[in-house]
Chains A and B, each alone.
Chain A
Amino acid sequence: MVVAKQNRTGRRAFLKAGGLVAAAGALTSMCVPTPGGGATHVHAHKRAWWIKSVNRPTLGETTPNFTRFSGRDMFALYPELKNQHDGEGSFEAEMKSGEKRAAQAMNERKPGFTLPDLQLTGGAWTLMHSTKPGSGLLSWTRVSVRTPAELGTARHTAPPQEMANLVKAAARLYGAGLVGISPMNEAYVNLKQPGDDAHQPPKDIVFEDVEVPAVTGTQFVIPMKMKWAVTIAIPMDLDLLSRAPTALGDAASALGYSHSVFVVASLAEFIRGLGYQAIPMVNDTAQSIPFAIDAGIGELSRLNKLVTPEFGPAVRLCKVFTDLPMACDKPVDFGLVDFCRHCKKCAEACPSRALSFDDEPSFKIVGPWNNPGHKTWFEDSYKCFQYWQKSNSACAICLTSCPYSKGDQAWIHEGVKAAASTVPVADAAFRAMDDAFGYGKQRAPEDWWNKEQLSGRKG
């Protein structure tokens, strides 16, 4: 009897085909061009495939109404705050007052306010508190690096993409979690800021046609030839941050600031060592978030803060202005704005109800602390600040509640973020799953010292 040969795929053939498909997939993913990529000897840092480069920011793009702002003007807007400090309405006065309140909480034996908790934060602030804009590590001129001329050579030159890759590689070595480059935008630069002496009036920040940056008695002078901004995101310790609102939780922010100082100071010296000018800064001198959006580090969110695809909003931002010509990055879209429309978890978690519950972002500001001229979910900074005073801490609950703030140990987070980026109809389901799995909850401060400490983003 003759049996016709069946046209059926056998197990061996099936597994073989599967292996070939997997190998082809792996090779393809290695060859896909990524934002900021380039064929240079320093390889560009690859980001996940679901983070797409776009020509315009998804949210936060400025209009002609957007003008330069003065970050420290906020205290002038709060007569109540001024009265609390004998008429001295300043950030420094508020910091001192906050320290007194934290000490009182320690004496009342509140969890998260023990002496070790307070001093952990005190230690973490060391680098940040030992410098001021334009001086010390944040000097606008060379600190210690030797210039190419001193080494008997010319300044380093290379194509813009290669220069960008060099700077990014250096920034990552110094501790940057994410780094991006954008063109200078003068509208993002503050109008004024205090100098070394907090009792003196703030100095003007001006752009002038000069060769080197300068800090004079009345001005911070930025050379007009500084046409590039390198923006850096420093990830904060998520486990420590989840102990907020306590003095212990504040250590995560404090350490983020001090890391920022180290990274931008080191990067500025690296750039100066190549033969160019560089101005390092943390929160000072310019608004970090719009530069970070333009540089593709993340998107603007319901928090009215930057959310990065990798670390969520739990990052500190810092930047370096320079005249070193580099290829710029583009803004990114990873589906965050759609996700924020549905999620609202941060607004629900905020104890002071300072965050917007509106479905759509708008141009309508909440108070004079907001800089108009861009579309976002504006926040009530005054309510937020009042809760800082009430809780004797810098809070940060919104940062840990965000579904994008996740550890880096469970692979499923990456899959969910990729799905949220590509299948926005599932955003509500992802938010519900985030709640069901118990993510975004604050942790008890008491056990932080007793547990085996986890490094980096594990927690």
Chain B
Amino acid sequence: MANGPEIYTITIRKRRWWAWTVAALWLMAELLFLQTAMGSMIEGEYRAATISWIVAAVFLAAGLVAWLGPHRPRKPENAQP
């Protein structure tokens, strides 16, 4: 085990405005799928509820991967070619 100082790298992502737009749309869609799933359960429409739960789960996983997954650092704006 190394005795030297441990080095951590903190990456701060500055997301662009359109990333927030897509995230907001994704959140609204996710909430709609969840509401449809729960509403369909109450209505006794179990097939509709099952499909909605599955879509909501897949959409949630895809959204989390896209949001938290590896990203390509942006090229500095004042970088020289």
B46 — which chain A residues lie within 8 A by C-beta?
438
Tell me how far the C-beta of A304 lies from the nearest C-beta in chain B, rounded to whole angstroms: 27
Q: Mark A207-249, 1 if CB is under 8 A from B, else 0.
A: 0000000000000000000000000000000010000000000
A459 interface neighbour in B17, B44, B47, Cβ under 8 Å: B44
Contact, CB under 8 Å: A437 / B43: no
| Bound: A458/B46 CA distance, A | 13
- Interface status of A436 (Cβ within 8 A of chain B): yes
Given contacts A410-B36, A439-B48, contact A454 B42 (CB under 8 A): yes
Given contacts A6-B77, A410-B48, A436-B51, contact A14 B20 (CB under 8 A): yes
**1/0 per position for A423-459, CB-CB distance to B under 8 A?**
0000000000000111100010000000100100011
A15 touches B51 (CB 8 A): no
Minimum distance in angstroms from A7 CB to a CB of chain B: 12
Q: Which residue of B lies closest to A437 (CB)?
A: B48
Contact between chains at B17 and A407 (CB < 8 Å): no
Contact partner, B51, options A1, A409, A437, A459, Cβ 8 Å: A437
- Decide if B36 touches A411 in the complex (CB within 8 Å): yes
Contact A410/B43 with A11-B15, A437-B48, A438-B48 known, Cβ cut-off 8 Å: yes
Assess A8 versus B32: contact at CB under 8 Å? Given A437-B48, A438-B45: no
Instruction: Return chain B residues, CB-CB under 8 Å to A23.
Output: none
Query: Which residues of the other chain, A, contact B15 by a CB distance below 8 angstroms?
Result: 11
Q: Is the CB of B44 within 8 A of A239?
A: yes
Q: Which one of B21, B39, B78 has the highest number of Cβ atoms from chain A below 10 Å of its Cβ?
A: B39
A14-45 interface (Cβ within 8 A of B): 14-15, 18
What are the interface flags for B17-36 relative to A under an 8 Å C-beta threshold, 1 for contact and 0 otherwise?
10011001000000010011
Q: Which residue numbers of B lie inside 8 Å of A, CB to CB?
A: 15, 17, 20-21, 24, 32, 35-36, 38-40, 42-48, 51, 77-78
The 8 residue pairs across chains A and B that have the minimum distance between CB atoms: A438-B47, A410-B39, A407-B43, A409-B39, A437-B48, A409-B42, A9-B17, A412-B36
Q: Could you tell me which A residues sit within 8 Å of B by CB distance?
A: 1, 3, 6, 8-11, 14-15, 18, 239, 406-407, 409-412, 415, 436-439, 443, 451, 454, 458-459
Can you list 5 A-B contacts (CB < 8 A)?
A409-B43, A410-B35, A410-B40, A410-B48, A443-B44
Beyond contacts A437-B51, A438-B46: 8 other A-B pairs, Cβ-Cβ < 8 A, are A15-B20, A409-B39, A409-B43, A410-B45, A438-B45, A454-B44, A458-B43, A458-B44
